[in-house]
Amino acid sequence: MSHFTTIKVQIKDGEVLCETLRELGYKVEQNALVRGYQGDKTEAEFVIRRSNGYDLGFRREGDDNYVLIADFWGARINQTQFVNEIQQKYAHKQLQKTAAEQGYTIEAEEVLEDGTVRVVVGRWV
């Protein structure tokens, strides 16, 4: 019986996701197996290896988004905090990429007291 759970996350760009995970300090393996309860395994495009044998993986689902897949009972992480941290960093990196593609530059950035990141972009016309 599999104990894997999937959580939809608002992530579409695998390249930016991989960069995000690495910048957050995770060692990422690509196109690997996620390990779970009693040796169960499932495939994922990006896998964060965990020393306790309960890995965290991201797999593309359909053409739209990635899902986070893990045996969360064994992974023993705060799912909400983990997902929020990744989504916030991912959104920031995606903004930087999109701004650059559209000819904008980042003029200022600041982290507000509530943790919100304020970014000012500009473009000469």
State pLDDT tens for residues 32-61.
Answer: 999 999 889 999 999 999 999 999 999 999
Residue 98 parent element (H or E)? helix 79-101
Examine the pLDDT at 74 and tell me if it is beyond 90. Answer: no
Which pLDDT belongs to residue 1?
A: 52
Examine the pLDDT at 24 and tell me if it is beyond 80. Answer: yes
Is domain 5-122 in CATH 3.30.160, yes or no?
A: yes
Under 8 Å between Cβ of 81 and 88: no
Examine the pLDDT at 72 and tell me if it is beyond 70. Answer: yes
In 3D space, the residue among 95, 21, 100 whose CA is nearest the CA of residue 58 turns out to be 21
Q: Which strands sit side by side in the sheet containing 65-70, from one edge to the other?
A: 5-8, 65-70, 56-61, 41-48, 28-35
Examine the pLDDT at 115 and tell me if it is beyond 80. Answer: no
In 3D space, the residue among 76, 74, 77, 88 whose CA is nearest the CA of residue 9 turns out to be 88
Which pLDDT belongs to residue 120?
A: 86
Reported as a pLDDT band with limits 50, 70 and 90, residue 2 is: low
Examine the pLDDT at 102 and tell me if it is beyond 80. Answer: yes
* Residue 89 φ/ψ, nearest 5 degrees: -65, -40
Reported as a pLDDT band with limits 50, 70 and 90, residue 116 is: confident
Q: What is the rounded average pLDDT for all residues in the chain?
A: 91
